[in-house]
């Protein structure tokens, strides 16, 4: 490891001029340099106390948000602990500052030895926890040399990165074995790390930390029936909740979350095919991004159904009087699951690979998943095995499966319950192991 450390420093010395040139060019062109420059070169904020600083690193928005309940648990069980969070993206930092109870949020310095050394000197961590796959050699090797306990949690190896990792297997295995403990998302990920050469005794299956986080998120979210107008603003959906298939003929609602442009037609055609048989059926479309908002509205309008747009400018009332609801506003999808009958996972009828399956599961909603699910394959596999979700390979099959579910309301309810029970078990296991980790602080 010492030889690799020296080699890595020489490699960085040779690459430094190119890196500096890249930074200078971006500054001249007034382009962002991926974060606040002072923090990127090691002048990170100092914590208010150096007594018990836990340094946590998460690269982006998804990883940062997955830590919400974990950080709350640390602060609750160890009030004197300082949670110092570093991130890799501007959006990740913004969201972390808004949503997380971390004491300090900063950009991670570039992985050059003097910059990382300066960060260690300013932060003085007693423990370093890295989320998922942010394996920066100097960050990790300095923790090892300083004898700072080092953990990797929610660790996974995606199908896309597997071949790349194996090309650098000899080096990567040495680096990963510096971790005191690696908590993987699944048994499959545990086997992948073993195949890379990580010592088995360092590996433990944690489960997906997002499962625990989403359970905590639900506990704080009042269901529609119990919303108190004096505490909460009036809900967009002040209606009788559709539970399972109850009310399918009167207030059934299909929800497509994180939809992408190339698959819009799939769901509009599905709705068009179902509507004659279920005249009161509603459809909610929540796009992943809003750059194609005009196309979304134009194609929806062309279908001839009544529709309403919920965005930053307007929050419609009485949405049940419209056939289609278009949600072009961030942060509302978690609320939308509650009034859905069936959930359709966006990004799976185009080769994007899918998004979050845990949130519909926590609300007891059955999920329909298209053929492209490589980004969520582990959770998809678990939900399918526990009869909480169904995969479909074509548009024709999609209509056939949804029609079959509508003809069997008890199956919709059963699938939703199965999804919820699986998620609750998964979240409980994760919480138990997080308790064990926090106890070691």
Taking residues 76-95, what's their average pLDDT? 93
pLDDT at 65 over 80: yes
Please indicate, yes or no, if residue 13 is contained in any of the structural domains. no
Identify the band that residue 233 occupies on the pLDDT scale cut at 50, 70 and 90: very low
Q: Which of 167, 189, 216 represents a domain boundary (last residue)? A: 216
Same domain, 130 and 209: yes
As beta bridge partners, residue 308 has 325
pLDDT > 70? residue 231: no
Q: Residues 321-343: pLDDT tens digits? A: 999 999 999 888 998 999 899 99
Neighbours of 19 (CB within 10 A): 12
**For range 222-245, the mean pLDDT:** 37
Same domain assignment for residues 188 and 280: no
Number of domains in the chain: 2
| Spatial contact of 132 and 63, defined as CB atoms under 8 Å apart | yes
- Residue 402 domain-assigned (yes or no): yes
Q: Classify residue 419: in a domain, yes or no.
A: yes
Query: What pTM does this model have?
Result: 0.82
Percentage of the chain with pLDDT > 70?
A: 93
In eight-state DSSP terms, residue 326 is E
- Among the candidates 157, 183, 216, a domain finishes at 216
Looking at the chain, how many residues does it have? Answer: 441
* Among 296, 288, 286, 278, CA closest to 242: 278
Residues 192 and 245 in one domain: no
395 and 248 in one domain? yes
Query: 278 is in which domain, residue-wise?
Result: 235-426
pLDDT tens by residue, 13-52: 888 888 888 888 877 877 766 788 899 999 999 999 888 9
398 belongs to a structural domain: yes
Residue 253 host element (H or E)? strand 253-259
Among candidate residues 152, 181, 216, the one where a domain is terminated: 216
Cross-strand bridge partners of residue 204: 183
Specify whether 412 is located in the same domain as 283: yes
Q: Do both 250 and 164 map to the same domain? A: no
Residue 17 lies in a domain: no
Question: In the structure encoding, which two tokens stand for residue 122, read together?
Answer: 């300013």
In a domain, 247, yes or no: yes
Give the pLDDT band (50/70/90) at residue 222.
Answer: low
Q: Give the CATH number of the domain where residue 334 resides.
A: 3.40.50.2000
């Amino acid at each position: 490891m010492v030889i690799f450390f020296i080699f890595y420093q020489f490699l960085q010395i040779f690459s430094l001029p190119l890196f500096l040139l890249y930074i200078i060019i971006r500054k001249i062109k007034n382009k962002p340099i991926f974060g606040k420059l002072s923090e990127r070169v090691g002048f990170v904020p100092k914590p208010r106390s150096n007594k018990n600083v836990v340094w946590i690193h998460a690269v982006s928005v998804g990883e940062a948000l997955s830590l919400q309940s974990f950080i709350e648990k640390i602060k609750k069980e160890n009030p004197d602990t300082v949670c110092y969070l570093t991130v890799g993206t501007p959006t990740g930092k913004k969201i972390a500052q808004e949503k997380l109870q971390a004491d300090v949020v900063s950009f991670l310095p570039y992985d050059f030895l003097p910059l990382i050394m300066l960060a260690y000197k300013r932060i003085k961590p007693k423990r370093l926890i890295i989320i998922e796959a942010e394996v920066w050699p100097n960050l990790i090797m300095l923790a090892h040399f300083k004898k700072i306990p080092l953990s990797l949690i929610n660790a996974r190896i995606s199908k896309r990165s597997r071949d790349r990792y194996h090309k650098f297997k000899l080096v990567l295995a040495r680096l990963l074995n510096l971790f005191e403990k690696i908590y993987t998302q699944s048994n499959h990920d545990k086997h992948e790390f073993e195949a890379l050469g990580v010592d088995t005794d360092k590996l433990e299956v944690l489960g997906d930390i997002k499962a625990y986080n989403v359970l905590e998120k639900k506990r704080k979210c009042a269901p529609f029936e119990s919303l108190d107008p004096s505490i909460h603003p009036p809900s967009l959906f002040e209606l009788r909740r559709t539970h399972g298939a109850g009310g399918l003929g009167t207030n059934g609602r299909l929800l497509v979350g994180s939809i992408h442009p190339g698959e819009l037609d799939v769901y509009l055609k599905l709705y068009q095919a179902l509507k004659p048989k279920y005249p009161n059926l509603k459809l909610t479309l929540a796009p992943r991004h809003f750059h194609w908002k005009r196309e979304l509205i134009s194609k929806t309008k062309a279908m001839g159904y009544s529709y309403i747009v919920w965005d930053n400018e307007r929050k419609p009332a009485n949405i049940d009087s419209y056939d289609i609801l278009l949600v072009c506003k961030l942060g509302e999808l978690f609320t939308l699951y509650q009034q859905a009958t069936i959930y359709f996972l966006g990004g799976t009828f185009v080769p994007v690979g899918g998004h979050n399956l845990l949130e519909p599961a926590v609300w007891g909603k059955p999920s329909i998943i298209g053929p492209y699910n490589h980004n969520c394959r582990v959770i998809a596999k678990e939900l399918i095995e526990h009869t909480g979700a169904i995969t479909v390979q074509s548009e024709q099959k999609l209509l056939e499966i949804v029609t079959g579910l509508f003809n069997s309301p008890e199956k919709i309810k059963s699938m939703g319950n199965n999804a919820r029970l699986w998620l609750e078990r998964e979240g409980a296991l994760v919480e138990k192991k997080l308790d064990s980790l926090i106890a070691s602080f």
